[in-house]
Amino acid sequence: VGSVAVEDQPDVSAVLSAYNQQGDPTMYEEYYSGLKHFIECSLDCHRAELSQLFYPLFVHMYLELVYNQHENEAKSFFEKFHGDQECYYQDDLRVLSSLTKKEHMKGNETMLDFRTSKFVLRISRDSYQLLKRHLQEKQNNQIWNIVQEHLYIDIFDGMPRSKQQIDAMVGSLAGEAKREANKSKVFFGLLKEPEIEVPLDDEDEEGENEEGKPKKKKPKKDSIGSKSKKQDPNAPPQNRIPLPELKDSDKLDKIMNMKETTKRVRLGPDCLPSICFYTFLNAYQQGLTAVDVTDDSSLIAGGFADSTVRVWSVTPKKLRSVKQAADLSLIDKESDDVLERIMDEKTASELKILYGHSGPVYGASFSPDRNYLLSSSEDGTVRLWSLQTFTCLVGYKGHNYPVWDTQFSPYGYYFVSGGHDRVARLWATDHYQPLRIFAGHLADVNCTRFHPNSNYVATGSADRTVRLWDVLNGNCVRIFTGHKGPIHSLTFSPNGRFLATGATDGRVLLWDIGHGLMVGELKGHTDTVCSLRFSRDGEILASGSMDNTVRLWDAVKAFEDLETDDFTTATGHINLPENSQELLLGTYMTKSTPVVHLHFTRRNLVLAAGAYSPQ
């Protein structure tokens, strides 16, 4: 099992000293151009694969020159060859270009990333042999040393990959994922739903029929019922991780959910969902940074740059706090409507503001039972708020640096957070220290999401990889590479099989979790994809972006004909169809309002949210 669990940060000077052995600084350009010439003259089938070497070699040679204080040589080396690198390395190159002195190398994260982790390349055996022969013939020890020490070449047998295949998978800070990193088994199935007796409401049923949507209902309802009762072969054992027990109120909510499910709109290319857009007005100065909507779509929370969290009720039911202790003692605890009596009618309002953070609030998440709200902030804390008293209950400290995202587990109790300290942490609401620390990302963890079965956590990072972590043991079970920019949004499909991720480059990538493969690429957005969400039945994928659009994609078609034959799964070499335009079902422009959050209601209505930002 390729686990990259908790990795100790090696001593900086020890890492750097690996660069001590050096050749003639003036020869570096010659070495590089010699290799470049060789690769460009090699056969077409090998050229694409060997071209992958350019970038890591370029970086390491440059760093060696800088480390050994050959400033001028380093500069001219950079000037000469940085134009050859693929455009998606531009951001890293920019960091590199400012790094011109040995002193700068200490404490530079990008540089350390390069040193502490071997850059992974996937090359076919034939191409590798070709390279090896060439380097040995030419006695090019400098390059051979770098290849040996700083690169990890994952050799596979079979046909060399094409340029497109390579381009689809590369782009991350540390190269591709090793093949064995994605080999472990993932239980991506859904947990069995607890059996709840649904009191058949005859009145309700009749009411439905009057509305003129008869007959079809019943079989659909049965299918939903039966699906949850059958054990999914891919599902983890029910008690793999301990989950909180269902309370009575949870059961009531589940019943509500099932009732709503029967009224759900069947979506498809011919039946697109309606989109209701919640615009945050006058929020440009305060800066809307995060939004969440409860599962039943009754509450909306907004996190703002002015450190506040605001909770709105979007139903006629207003937000009320519980009465003061003195008043509570006067209440007859035996009465039937005690839950109603404890609420203070005087505090009823549509909006509650939660004060407590001391920095912009970058993440917000409601608990599934709507009693709590989590918020994560620049001040390095995650706070748990009670939605009964509208006060802060706990401040979870541990990240020390800005916490970019947080999310409750779909079963409550657990939550995950990820931040600038490059780790994601798993917490339980009743522990002030994290239960797990998921370390391995080479840059900020930008977004975190729970798998629907609560056994896994996916994280998207600025190192342009997506990782899937096992909540049980903290192992990294999947590393997905292919994004060309920091990842800003993640979502699991409702059946747990697929993952969709969006990045600053405006592309959305689709992944098959079971096989550990990229299965689709959705191009269309022109700016960061901030939010992604599947419809409740998984037919439609909605994406919202900084380019002020909401786009709807045909998820059924995207996952329809997957290449999941043995060869593809074994090698991970996929051919992505260029079908973004066919999959795009609709584009909806907003009026200069970036789409920060998307949500499907239980009846498959899309709720989108964002702050109006005048140009």
Q: How far is the CB of 274 from another protein (least distance, A)?
A: 5
Query: Should residue 156 be labelled a site residue for another protein when binding is judged by CB under 8 A?
Result: no
CB of 392 to another protein, least distance (A): 20
Min dist CB 199 to another protein, Å, is: 33
Measured CA to CA in angstroms, residue 387 lies from 61, 248, 391, 392 at distances of 56, 18, 8, 9
**Contact between 457 and 438 (Cβ < 8 Å):** yes
Shorter beta-carbon distance to another protein: residue 232 or 527: 527
Instruction: Specify whether the CB–CB gap between 111 and 100 falls below 8 A.
Output: no
Does 282 bind another protein (CB under 8 A)? Our answer is yes
- Member of 182, 321, 454, 593 binding another protein (CB under 8 A): 593
| Binding residue (CB under 8 A) for another protein from 211, 285, 326, 329 | 285
**Residues from 484 through 503 that contact another protein (CB under 8 A):** 486, 488
Which string of b and e fits 274-295 if b means at least 16 CB within 10 Å?
ebebbebeebeebebbbbbbbb
Residue appearing with tokens 């996190």 = 303
Binding-residue total with another protein (CB under 8 A): 90
Which strands sit side by side in the sheet containing 372-377, from one edge to the other?
A: 361-366, 372-377, 381-386, 391-397
Query: Based on CB atoms, which residue is closest to another protein, 184 or 279?
Result: 279
What the block records as the tokens of 245 is: 């027990």
Q: What is the H or E stretch that residue 90 is in? A: helix 90-98
Among candidates 517, 546, 544, which has minimal Cα distance to 533? 544
100 binds another protein (CB under 8 A): yes
Tell the smallest beta-carbon distance from residue 391 to another protein (Å).
21
Ramachandran area for residue 538 (φ above 0: left; ψ -120 to 50: alpha; else beta):
left
Residue 302 interacts with another protein (CB under 8 A): yes or no: yes
* Residue choice 8, 14, 20, 83 for contact with another protein (CB under 8 A): 83
We find the least distance from the C-beta atom of residue 93 to another protein, in angstroms, to be 6
Beta bridge partners of 521: 509
Binding status of residue 577 toward another protein by CB under 8 A: no
Q: Count of CB atoms within 10 A of residue 184's CB?
A: 16
DSSP character for 181? Answer: G
Report, in Å, the least distance between residue 412 CB and another protein.
26
Task: Report the site for another protein in 115-154 (rule: CB under 8 A).
Answer: none
- List the one residue from 310, 399, 436, 478 that touches another protein (CB under 8 A): 310
Q: Which of 23, 359, 494, 577 binds another protein (CB under 8 A)?
A: 359
Which residue, 5 or 605, is less far from another protein as judged by CB?
Answer: 605
Does residue number 275 form part of the binding site for another protein (CB under 8 A)? yes
Q: Is 460 in the site for another protein (CB under 8 A)?
A: no
Stretch that binds another protein, among 22-30, 74-82, 218-226, 333-341 (CB under 8 A): 74-82
Nearer to another protein, 111 or 241 (CB): 111
Residue type, 394: V
Site for another protein in 363-402 (CB under 8 A): 378, 401-402
Contact with another protein (CB under 8 A) among 165, 590, 601, 604: 590
Among 462, 499, 532, 558, binds another protein (CB under 8 A): 462
Angle at 598 between CA 597 and CA 602, to 5 degrees: 140
Q: Does residue number 585 form part of the binding site for another protein (CB under 8 A)? A: yes
Residue 330 amino acid letter:
L
CB atoms within 10 A of CB 250: 17
Q: If we measure between CA atoms, which residue out of 391, 399, 390 comes closest to residue 419?
A: 399
395-454 binders of another protein (CB under 8 A)? 401-402, 404, 420, 444, 446
Q: Pick the piece of the chain touching another protein (CB under 8 A) from 14-22, 61-69, 301-309, 324-332.
A: 301-309
The least distance separating another protein from the CB of residue 613, rounded to whole angstroms, comes to 8
The answer to whether the beta carbons of residues 590 and 546 sit under 8 Å apart is no
Restricting to residues 180-239, which ones interact with another protein according to CB under 8 A? none
Amino acid at 303: G
The C-alpha angle 178, 180, 184, rounded to 5 degrees, equals: 135
| Shorter beta-carbon distance to another protein: residue 144 or 277 | 277
The residue among 457 and 530 lying less far from another protein, judged by its C-beta, is 530
| Secondary structure (3-state) at 435 | coil
3-class DSSP state for residue 72?
helix
Nearer to another protein, 97 or 433 (CB): 97
Map the footprint of another protein across residues 10-39, applying CB under 8 A: none
Alpha-carbon distance of 100 to 65, in angstroms, equals 9
DSSP symbols for 491-516: EE-TTSSEEEEEETTS-EEEEETTTT
Binding segment toward another protein, per CB under 8 A, in 5-13, 209-217, 237-245, 549-557: 549-557
CB of 579 to another protein, least distance (A): 9
Nearest residue (CB) to another protein, 399 versus 497 = 399
C-alpha–C-alpha distance, residues 1 and 565, integer Å = 23
Q: Which is nearer to another protein, 363 or 410 (CB)?
A: 363
What's the closest the beta carbon of residue 83 comes to another protein, in angstroms?
A: 6
Residue found under tokens 């690429």: 521
| CA atoms lying within 13 Å on the CB side of residue 424 | 33
Choose which of 14, 41, 200, 281 interacts with another protein (CB under 8 A): 281
Q: Are 90 and 419 in contact (CB under 8 A)?
A: no
Alpha helix ranges (H) inside 293-388: 325-328, 338-341
* Shortest Cβ 29–another protein spacing (Å): 17
276 near another protein, rule: CB under 8 A: yes
According to CB under 8 A, which one of 38, 144, 156, 588 is a site residue for another protein?
588
* Backbone conformation region of residue 324, classed left if phi is above 0, alpha if psi is from -120 to 50, else beta: beta
